[in-house]
Structure formats: C-alpha cells, structure tokens
Chain A
Amino acid sequence: MKQTKTLSAVSALAMLAMGSGAAQAAGTTSGTTISNSVSVAYQVGGVDQIPVTGSDSFTIDRKIALTIAETNSNTTYVSPGQVNVAVAFSVTNNSNTAIDIALSATQLSGGAAAHGGTDNFDVSNFALYKDVNGNGLYDAGTDTAISYADELAADSSIQVIAVGTIGLSQVTNDVAAVVLTGVAREAGSASSLGNVITATSGANTTAVDTVLADASGESGDVAYDGMHSDMDDFTVLAATLTIIKTSSVISDPVNNTNDPKIIPGAVVEQCIAVSNAADGASAESVTVTETVPGDTTPVLGSYGVYEETSVTGTGAAMTCSNDGTQDLSAASGNTVTGTLGSIAPGAAKGMRFRVTIQ
C-alpha cells in the first residue's frame, strides 16, 4: 500500500472487500475478547489531573471456512490398466478455530471435467487416502485411508489423494473426473467426527456466534454452506502401435546381387517397422518377436538382427533406415527378437534381419 495519504479516508468499500475474501488466513481465534482502552491526560489550571480512562470490549465470533483445492492445476495422465493412479487435493481449515472436515470423493457421471475434457468413464477400486508423505502418489503401507480430517487446527492443512485403477479398455483422451467435497464439522473430540457446523440463526448474541464463510465450489456447492469442493481428473494416454513388415531380395545363387530373384538359396532382408501414434503415451519395453517361416532359415551367425532407431517413410511405406546396431545373439532356432525399448509418441523404430530361402 502506498504511504501517501494513509491518514485520509481510505475507501471503506475497498477495505471491506479486502476483508471479505473467504480464503484469507484464519485470523483471531474465536472466543477471544478484544478490549479497547483509551485514556486522556489533561490539566486544569496548569496542574496535571488524574488521567481518565474508558474501555469497551467484544468477543470474536466463529468464522467457519474451508478450502478444498487440487494441488496441481493439470490433469493426471494415466495408462490403460494402470493401478493406484492418484489425484491430490489440499484440505485447508481457514476458520478461526479448529474443526473436523468430513471428506467424500465422488466420480463425475458425464459432464465437463476439470481440465477441458468430458468425463466418460469411472476408475475402479476408488478410494481416498491421506497422503502421509505428501508426494501426491499412492504409497502402499504409508498412505492411510481417510474419511475426515481430525481436529484440523486453524490455518493448517493436509493433503489427500483419490486413488483408483484405470480399465485396460480405455483409450487415449478418455477422461475420469473426481470431485472431493469437505464439510465443516465440530472439533473437540479427537478421533471422532463431530456434528455438522451450522450458522447461528436469528439475532446475534453476545456469546460466540458462528458464521459460515466458505466460498462456492463445484456444481451444487454454494458459498456460505459450510462445505467446499474441487474437481480434478485423469486423462488416458494409450500407446497405439502400428507394425509394417517389408522385405527385399539381397542376392540369389545365380545372379548374386545383380537383379536377384526369390529362388531357393536367395537371401531376403526383412524389416519390421513399429510406429507409435502421436498424442498418445510413450510405449515402453517394446520387443518384437518374429518366427521365420519353416521354408526359410535366419541368417544369424554372420548377420544377426539390426535394431533400428528410426525408420524412413510413414504409414504403410515405413521401412528400416539401416541405422541400427548389429545384435548377433538375438535369435533362438527360428525365432528372432528385436529389443526396441521405448518408442515415444509419434516416433518409430524397427528391426532388420535376413533369411535364406530353402
């Protein structure tokens, strides 16, 4: 705030606006008595008189506010079949006294999700845990099931995670939205959930009154209802692999490499190209296994398998780029194996090997 003119009237409306935010720090503890004492010193006939004092006091009432908020503002990307996926929420007591907060996590049934998509599936094994180590991930044996925040002190917060399993049949851009709702409950009895806190009805009293000061949250959660809610979501990123197999004749026993034909004894090079669709997930630990036909024999001892780190062409025209490294031990009997590792979205790899026509 600027220092000029601080003594002149600061806009009363502006000051009120500053004070009415629901998510501000909890402030003075309810039940506190604030007493204002004023004194006047004066003289009569040039002689100091006994100072006169005056005072007035009031009691701070109870302001109940809580905030549920997803801890990052992004969707959580998951893979089909992934277990124990988690979205994290912070649960904060903005009241000026300790409260319990009852917690319930629900899954949206259709409708707009938190981060732009539309909810179209539910996760299974859905459960709510206290994120004991605060890493935003589910850690079995560390994170504990939770249904309410117990005796949460003013201005303090905990982190919870909504955990579930993604179905194997989900595809890229499927979205599962999750809403966490917290309801203010009376504190005072540890390890037990207190009653719902309600606003003091009727005329104000000189005792400690209760005011509900929470903000509005998700659909159906209005301001000043003693509850707050927020939404987060899971978005599926699947890897979609495409495999293209091509072959070319390298040589035959008659023509050698000069316009070779596929005759017995000819050497044919085979390429298996694997591409991963863009906008999906990275495919990990990709292994291609090929059993060569019974009337061919892998050329292994001298040629082996080349694991290609890129391909030329796209779609059906993909073929090996001959940039691979030779692997002489990648075969067993009639089976050749290419260990391609990770294929990023939009990228492709391949394996190249040779067979002899019997």
Chain B
Amino acid sequence: MKTLLSLLAALLPAPAVLAAGNVALESKIFVEKTVQDAHGAPRIVLQPPALVVPGEQLVFVLDYSNRGNAPATNFTVTNPLPHDITFTDAADAGAELSVDGGKSWGQLAVLTVPGSDGKRRAARPTDVTHIRWVLKQPVAVGESGRLTFRGTVR
C-alpha cells in the first residue's frame, strides 16, 4: 500500500481545479478463529460475526477508496473504539492511539493515564479509547486501501 501511495503521489501533481471529493469508507467486523487445517496445524481464519461471545477476538477492517476525480489529502481515518470492546493491537505501526477520548494521540508506549494512586501510569491496551491513521501521502483517484486493528469483546 505504501509503495502504491508514494508512486501515485509522484505521478499526480496538485489539481488545477477543485473537484468534489468522493471518498468511500466501509467498516467490517470479523471474528478471528483458530482452526486446524488438514494437517492438524493451527490456522487463523476470519469469520463473519454471527456467533460472538465475551472474550472473542475481533478484527476490525476499514476499507477506503477515492472514487472522486481528485486526490484526497490530509487523509485522516478515526475510529472510536466501541463500548464493550478492548483494544488489542493494530496491524501496522502507523496507527496512532488515544487514551483520553481523542484529545491527544501517540504510540501506546508514550501515553499515560491517571493511576489509582493519583500518579500517572503507563497506558495499557485496555485504556485505548480511539485509534486513527493519518496518511502521509494523498489518496489518489481510484486508489483504495485497507486499515485493520484487533479488539476483544469484554
């Protein structure tokens, strides 16, 4: 995806005229299951969320595409974590996290939250409230991409 982005960004100069944006965004939720393949080895598969009970591992898939006729810049995808879902991890390190409802952002290792003793403690995955991606490259006309993160049902 990143190679595609950089390639297209080099090819397309800024448009001379403003074109109406037409970005599509779709959120899908899958349940991550470990099944055994024909040789008895564990294999991770994604299934539609038909049967979901607490403790289940979910994969949130965000598909975006630029169906307009101009590149989209400052492309920022923001996903508040649903209530009853705890954050597990994001597939790529480009994701920024917030543990304060979206006020401040960063990697989890640098985020802190108020501890029970009044001092601030290092944030844990369960403290995450929002996840976002800020794409450094414009999304070109016709380009699509996928962002994913994982969470657990409380």
Among B70, B88, B124, which residue has its beta carbon within 8 angstroms of that of A3?
A: B124
Within 8 A of A (CB), among B23-56: 23-29, 32, 34, 42, 44, 49-56
Whether A4 sits at the interface, judged by CB under 8 Å, is: yes
Residues of A within 8 A of B53 (CB): 27, 30, 60-63, 96, 211, 213
Q: A27-B55, A63-B53 are in contact. Are A43 and B27 (CB under 8 A)?
A: no
Residues of A within 8 A of B84 (CB): 28, 32, 34, 60
Residues of B within 8 A of A60 (CB): 52-54, 84, 153
What size tier do the contact residues of chain A reach?
A: 35 or more
Whether B152 sits at the interface, judged by CB under 8 Å, is: yes
Residues of B within 8 A of A209 (CB): 50-51
Among B24, B55, B122, B154, which residue has its beta carbon within 8 angstroms of that of A21?
A: B55
Q: A6-B108, A10-B89 are in contact. Are A38 and B62 (CB under 8 A)?
A: yes
Stretch in A50-58, A182-190, A295-303 with 4+ CB within 8 Å of B: A50-58
Q: Residue-by-residue, is B137-154 near A (CB-CB < 8 Å gives 1, otherwise 0)? A: 001000000000010111
In the complex, residue of chain A having the shortest beta-carbon distance to the beta carbon of B107: A7
Contact: A40 with B75, CB < 8 Å?
Answer: yes
Contact: A27 with B25, CB < 8 Å?
Answer: no
Contact: A54 with B27, CB < 8 Å?
Answer: yes
Give the B interface residue count (CB, 8 A).
Answer: 65
Q: Residue-by-residue, is A185-212 near B (CB-CB < 8 Å gives 1, otherwise 0)? A: 0000000000000001001111001010
Residues of A within 8 A of B56 (CB): 19
Among B42, B62, B72, B153, which residue has its beta carbon within 8 angstroms of that of A44?
A: B72
Whether A168 sits at the interface, judged by CB under 8 Å, is: no
Q: A42-B75, A43-B72 are in contact. Are A9 and B89 (CB under 8 A)?
A: yes
Contact: A45 with B18, CB < 8 Å?
Answer: yes
Contact: A26 with B54, CB < 8 Å?
Answer: yes
Contact: A58 with B54, CB < 8 Å?
Answer: no
Contact: A205 with B50, CB < 8 Å?
Answer: yes
Residues of B within 8 A of A54 (CB): 24-27, 62
**Would you give the shortest CB distance from B8 to chain A, in whole angstroms?**
15
Q: Indicate the member of B28, B44, B72 with the most A CB atoms within 10 Å.
A: B72
Contact: B55 with A7, CB < 8 Å?
Answer: no
Alpha-carbon separation in the docked complex, A327 to B56 (Å) = 76
Contact: B51 with A43, CB < 8 Å?
Answer: no
Whether A20 sits at the interface, judged by CB under 8 Å, is: yes
Q: A7-B108, A54-B62, A55-B27 are in contact. Are A40 and B54 (CB under 8 A)?
A: no
Whether A39 sits at the interface, judged by CB under 8 Å, is: yes
Whether B109 sits at the interface, judged by CB under 8 Å, is: yes
Within 8 A of A (CB), among B56-99: 56-57, 60, 62, 64, 68, 70-80, 82-85, 88-91, 93, 95, 97
Contact: B18 with A44, CB < 8 Å?
Answer: yes
Residues of B within 8 A of A7 (CB): 89-90, 93, 95, 97, 107-108
Contact: B23 with A42, CB < 8 Å?
Answer: yes
Q: What is the interface of chain B, defined by CB distance below 8 A to chain A?
A: 14-15, 17-21, 23-29, 32, 34, 42, 44, 49-57, 60, 62, 64, 68, 70-80, 82-85, 88-91, 93, 95, 97, 107-109, 122-125, 139, 150, 152-154
The 7 closest A-B pairs by CB, nearest first: A27-B54, A204-B50, A19-B55, A63-B53, A58-B49, A49-B21, A54-B25
